[in-house]
Amino acid sequence: MAKEPELVIRKAVATDAEAVLKLLTILKTESTTFEDSSDDVDSATESEQIKQISMSTQQVILLAVRDDELVGLVTILPTADSSTGEIGVAVLKQYWHHGIGRELMLTALDWAALSSSFQVISLTVQLRNKHAVKLYEDIGFQMVRTTQVTTSTGEVVEASEMQLAVK
């Protein structure tokens, strides 16, 4: 019986830049819920950004690694409200529903509670993404309000802004 590959969740480091950019490129093709602005970023710039983020208590990039391959990531970034951070998670489609998104979320929320100054973590989720809504509710996020968002394909859909107190 083959052993299941170990999943490792760790902070991104500068040498991950090229692999992160490759992961982001794939993630954008697999979901209309994922947005990123890495199209105009080269490896050197991404490496520098990761280095800056790794020294911050206001932002984090965590990577899910399986068999030395990046399979997902989660970020927490500051918002206009200095007490609130915004979380975003994405996992390669072939690994959906394997618990990787949950592990990324929980690890990032631990970071927020222990290492950041954030009181609250927020997110926006498309309501049609029922699996993600359930995941966030199971973790403890509560809906703040409903809104509409425009997907990466230009479609306008119903969404929920959700929050979780971490301190």
What confidence tens digit (pLDDT) does each residue in 28-77 have? 888 877 666 666 789 999 999 999 999 888 999 999 999 999 999 999 99
Domain assignments of the chain as residue spans, ordered by start: 7-165
pTM of the entire structure?
A: 0.92
Quote the strand ranges of the chain, DSSP E. 7-11, 60-66, 69-78, 84-91, 120-126, 142-150, 156-165
SS3 68: coil
> What's the CATH fold of domain 7-165?
Aminopeptidase (3.40.630)
AA identity, residue 117: S
Residues 6+ apart with CB under 8 A from 8: 64, 65, 66
Q: List pLDDT tens digits, range 86-127.
A: 999 999 999 999 999 999 999 999 999 999 999 999 999 999
Q: Is the pLDDT of residue 83 over 80?
A: yes
